[in-house]
Amino acid sequence: MHPPAPPRDSGPARVSAPSRTRRLIGRGSAENPANRFERLAYSEDADFVDESFEDDPGAPRRALETRYYRDPSRTLLARNESPDIGFDVSLNPYRGCSHGCSYCFARPTHEYLGLSAGLDFETHILVKDDAPALLEKTLASPRWKPQVVAVGAVTDPYQPVEKKLEITRRCLSVFAKFRNPCAIVTKGGLVTRDIDVLRTLAEHDAVSVSVSITSLDDRLRRVMEPRASSPKERLRAVEALAKAGIPVNVMVAPIVPGITDHEIPALVSAAADAGASAVRPIVLRLPHGTADLFEAWLERHYPERRAKVMNRVKALRGGRRNDPRFHTRLRGEGVFAEQIAAMFTLACRRAGVDGEPPKLSTAAFRRPGGEQLPLL
């Protein structure tokens, strides 16, 4: 954890930047940059690797463990004001994500906790064990107006620890109890564990699942999304959900120019073959410190492509590494954005899939034990 900020008259602390050639097996980042809100930061100079992912058992190492903390928040649902996203309310059972995706737009959210957007984001995870009880209290309140709740809009609800804690599963059971619609976004094949609950919601048009797939190349996935499910496992999840009658779509996200954009036709085709009813694209975006972290990742794994990739990113973002403006931030703009959109449209046409997920319904919402008697 970071120490308190120093007095105002002291200058910012200098933190030595880690080597760009440093690699941590099983981690998407090798850096833990200073928090943009703090004046001091903890610096660890020793190299760490994760023993469970180390491929050289003879190498000297110290384990970089993932640590979990109880989140004491007494409120659960977050309100969205972005016109780019098709929901107004979201639920995230975890803060931080051990999937460790190198490009993750959510990394800077850890800075609001006094932590770093780098390794802290993927090794210090807050868990909302009270989430199911808080959700039930919210849905049972007369003030709650039935509406779609996005599950996992920021961090993945099916990251590895979910297998043990089952916080997401327990929240889904609450949604099923009230028949309140929810839309899930995940990179985790573990979602198939909850098909029984999802099927109950699907009977009332109250659930959809979006499986995010960045690449079909598992070697790339291992360094870009080290603890996320493999591409094959995600496609198997799409197939299993579709066969169970659960509306499922695929998000080709993010599309990384110069790294994964050439895979768009194959990704769309694979998604359609697996049974996805819709496929949607999202172009890479790099808010705040994510841009530095992603550039460092490129330098480690694709040094020969770093300049090309970042030049294309800037071409998509008006000359900057990130453009936070609404309406363009998910797709970019300019020649490359138009090329990506055209390629995606053609791929969807050839695969016979749409670009829009199904609409969910609140018609079946109920408060158990509080249903009104029919008027006579």
Q: What is the pLDDT of residue 6?
A: 29
Please check whether residue 81 lies inside any domain of the structure. yes
Beta strands in 154-303 (DSSP E): 182-186, 207-213, 248-255, 279-283
- Do residues 64 and 245 make contact, with C-beta atoms less than 8 angstroms apart? no
pLDDT for the residue 258: 95
Strand 248-255, strand 207-213: pairing: parallel
Q: Is residue 347 part of a domain?
A: no
Low-confidence spans in the chain with pLDDT less than 50: 1-20, 40, 42-61, 372-376
pLDDT score recorded for residue 369: 77
Q: State the angle between helix axes of 131-140 and 167-178 in degrees (0 to 180), rounded to the nearest 10.
A: 20
Q: How much is the pLDDT for 376?
A: 34
Predicted confidence at residue 326, as pLDDT, reads 76
Return the pLDDT at 38. 62
Say how far apart CA 107 and CA 95 lie, in whole Å.
Answer: 10
* pLDDT, tens only, 35-76: 776 654 544 443 434 444 444 444 444 557 899 999 988 889
Query: Cα separation of 34 and 101, whole Å?
Result: 19
**Res 1: pLDDT:** 39
At a CB cut-off of 8 Å and minimum separation 6, what does 18 contact? 30, 31, 32
Whole-number CA gyration radius for the chain: 21
Phi, psi (deg, nearest 5) at residue 296: -65, -35
The pLDDT score that the predictor gives to residue 69 is 95
Q: What are phi and psi of 107, to 5 degrees?
A: -50, -45
**pTM for this model (two decimals):** 0.84
Predicted local confidence at residue 323, as pLDDT: 85
pLDDT tens by residue, 302-359: 999 999 999 999 999 999 998 888 777 778 899 999 999 999 999 999 999 986 778 9
Which CATH number covers residue 148?
A: 3.20.20.70
Give domain status of residue 44, yes or no. Answer: no
Residues 6+ apart with CB under 8 A from 98: 66, 122, 123, 125, 159, 160, 161, 227
Q: Can you give the residue range of the structural domain that contains 250?
A: 51-282
On whether residue 367 sits in a domain, the answer given is no
- Please answer whether residues 179 and 140 qualify as being in contact, where contact means their C-beta atoms are separated by less than 8 angstroms: no
Dihedral angle over CA of 169, 84, 332, 305, nearest 10: -20
234 torsion bin: left (phi>0), alpha (psi -120 to 50), beta (else): alpha
Cα maximum dimension of the chain: 79
Q: In whole angstroms, what is the distance from residue 250 CA to residue 268 CA? A: 8
Q: How many structural domains compose the chain?
A: 1
> What per-residue confidence (pLDDT) applies to 83?
65
| Residue 325 is assigned to a structural domain of this protein | no
